[in-house]
A and B are shown apart, each in its own frame.
Chain A
Amino acid sequence: EAQVTQNPRYLITVTGKKLTVTCSQNMNHEYMSWYRQDPGLGLRQIYYSMNVEVTDKGDVPEGYKVSRKEKRNFPLILESPSPNQTSLYFCASSRSRNLGEKLFFGSGTQLSVL
């Protein structure tokens, strides 16, 4: 089944404790992206990747890191989480980096930073 898989589904951590949220897609998609969803703000892009070893900042990149060493994986790293990073996170992918592509979303990761 074609899908985007995120783990973990729920995560509670404390301020400053490094964490990684994994994302993997099995559709050989070129483009991958991370979003955070906050009430009243919709989805905002954190980072995106057009291909292996090519990543770039989205609209809210502060406090996050990403890597794209393999085409299928695009982990999101929080080196020193803070409470304002408590949010619902989504990984998404699309077949290409071309305009008009449909996004395929993972099921989300609910992160709470205490």
Chain B
Amino acid sequence: AQSVTQLGSHVSVSEGALVLLRCNYSSSVPPYLFWYVQYPNQGLQLLLKYTSAATLVKGINGFEAEFKKSETSFHLTKPSAHMSDAAEYFCAVSIPTSGTYKYIFGTGTRLKVLA
């Protein structure tokens, strides 16, 4: 069965430090992979998306993620954390189903940025 695992429900980093949020997936078909971000009291918005064009995907706000097929991973990174990055981050995989698609979301990682 397809699944998405996010290691660490809470991650704290200092402002200016590297951000690393981990995501592993299992999928029986070539996956479409996503990272979404949820700021407080808002809906989710797309951070970046992997569609097999390139293994390193750049997103908004300086985030990027690398697809590693051998490790079935799609970890999210940002070289230098900013206070405004504090949010909850969701990794997701899109898979085909019944003539359309469905998303499977991870359980989320809440990022806290310390001053």
Residue numbers of A with Cβ under 8 A of B are 4, 31, 35, 40-45, 48, 50, 56, 58, 90, 92, 97-103, 105-108
Contact = CB atoms under 8 A, between A and B. Distances in A.
Nearest to A40: B107
Interface string B37-62: 00001111110010100000000000
B51 A105 contact: no
A100 B100 CA distance: 10
Nearest to B46: A102
B100 A42 contact: no
A43 B51 CA distance: 22
Given A40-B9, A40-B107, A108 B43 contact: yes
B52 to A, nearest CB: 9
A90 B44 contact: yes
B48 to A, nearest CB: 10
B105 A100 contact: no
B108 A100 contact: no
Contact of B42 (A45, A48, A97, A107): A107
13 contacts: A41-B107, A42-B108, A43-B105, A45-B102, A48-B100, A48-B102, A100-B32, A100-B101, A102-B34, A103-B44, A103-B46, A105-B43, A107-B41
